[in-house]
Structure 1
Amino acid sequence: MPKQLLQALRGGKSVHNVDRQSVKEAVEAGRNARLDYMQGMLRELRDMAVAERCTFLAYQLEIAYMEVGDLLRAQHAAALQSKKKPEHCGTVA
């Protein structure tokens, strides 16, 4: 999270002087962290289900694990795409 944003939030000050891109990046970083955590927990739960021979439960947890991975990849791709700026803004004839 950008230093300016952290200082504003901790001090109870207005965050109006913090640019919107910094806020967006901080929110996305928090979401990524939560998704990473969920993916790790799903992997552990899946391993536990396999150890207990709960095959259908293990299958469902594996599907959830893959879904979180897909979400992370899509968010990463969108972040890369939004950072690419066009070289010119004019129309091409």
Structure 2
Amino acid sequence: MEEHLTVCGLPAREEPVINQNIDTGIFILLRRKCKAWVMLSPNHPKSKVYYKSYAERRKEMTRHMVKYNNFIIHPFSLFMMYWEYFISRRQPLAR
């Protein structure tokens, strides 16, 4: 395995997984917005209960990105918060 070295000869620091997936490629801003809707959100009321610090939230976001990538919507994401709101507000059909 080839090791990448910096100018001073030290091993290069790896880029965080989140930056590799979100900061590269085409339509970066659109992908960031879409990904923000399905990832853990600090604005979700339950995320503040379960993930009290920034480090815990960042660790969970990294875990979610590495393990599930784009295939799973996080339960404490903005998408799920709005989905639960709209589903609970839905009126039953009149018969």
User: Is TM > 0.5 for Structure 1 vs Structure 2?
Assistant: no
What TM-score, normalized by structure 1, do the two folds share? 0.27
Higher helix share: 1
Relative contact order (alpha carbons < 8 A, sep ≥ 6): 1 or 2 greater? 2
When Rg is computed on C-alpha atoms for both structures, the one with the higher figure is 1
